[in-house]
A and B are shown apart, each in its own frame.
Chain A
């Protein structure tokens, strides 16, 4: 079974400050990990993914995420937040184990609010 947790319903940060949105996961094998962003009344938009290789993954709009296998985490980060980053962020996981599902499991989402 696969699962993902986003422990924070909301993250507040001042513009220009670094931001972190947390995600932890559980899979039986190795994970595919994804971050998506959703703006109001829109579908989800892909930000970045981890499959293998470097633990630090860089994605769209200056976002990056760090894969930590020992802590089973994949936190989303950005060095300097913009007001326009305010949105809903979803972490998702897929199990790469043989026989694993092609269907990712999504977290409940974290609302990021960047204050001017």
Chain B
């Protein structure tokens, strides 16, 4: 399968723990995006990479959130000191010039 993959698909953690998610984009895509989606809402932008450079971050992204794309290929999203309000689906997407291709998402539940 040459689509966007995300791991893990599900993560349950206790409040205060750190979690890390991984996204593997389509190999020829230079743009990579992270979104958060909660029930009944559209994807909410978190951050954007072009190659290895993080070009935009949402103002809604607290300093507990950090993302990397060290070699311009896969990306990781880390949430430190998780809170119950972080419970959501975290989506990764990649693109070249046009439409985005989304991964299946990582569903985070913070207890």
| Bound pair (A, B) | yes
Using CB atoms and an 8 Å cutoff, list the residues of chain A in contact with chain B. Answer: 32, 34, 36, 41-46, 49, 51, 90, 101-109
The answer to whether A43 and B99 have CB atoms under 8 Å apart is no
User: Looking across the interface, which residue of chain B has its beta carbon closest to that of A108?
Assistant: B42
Report A-chain residues with C-beta under 8 Å of the C-beta of B101: 46
Using CB atoms and an 8 Å cutoff, list the residues of chain B in contact with chain A. Answer: 4, 6, 31, 33, 40-43, 45, 48, 50, 55-56, 91, 93, 98-105, 107
User: Looking across the interface, which residue of chain B has its beta carbon closest to that of A9?
Assistant: B40
- Partner among B50, B55, B102 whose Cβ is within 8 Å of the Cβ of A43: B102
The answer to whether A90 and B48 have CB atoms under 8 Å apart is no
Q: Which 6 A-B pairs have the closest CB atoms?
A: A43-B102, A106-B42, A44-B102, A46-B99, A43-B104, A106-B43
- Partner among A103, A108, A109 whose Cβ is within 8 Å of the Cβ of B48: A103
Report B-chain residues with C-beta under 8 Å of the C-beta of A32: 98
Q: Give, as a whole number of angstroms, the nearest-CB distance from B105 to chain A.
A: 5
- In angstroms, Cα B105 to Cα A32, docked, is 24
Q: List 18 A-B contacts (CB under 8 A).
A: A42-B104, A43-B6, A43-B91, A43-B102, A43-B103, A43-B104, A44-B93, A44-B102, A46-B100, A46-B101, A49-B98, A90-B43, A102-B55, A103-B45, A103-B56, A105-B45, A106-B42, A107-B42
Report A-chain residues with C-beta under 8 Å of the C-beta of B40: 108-109
A34 and B41 in contact, given A102-B31, A103-B56 (Cβ under 8 angstroms): no
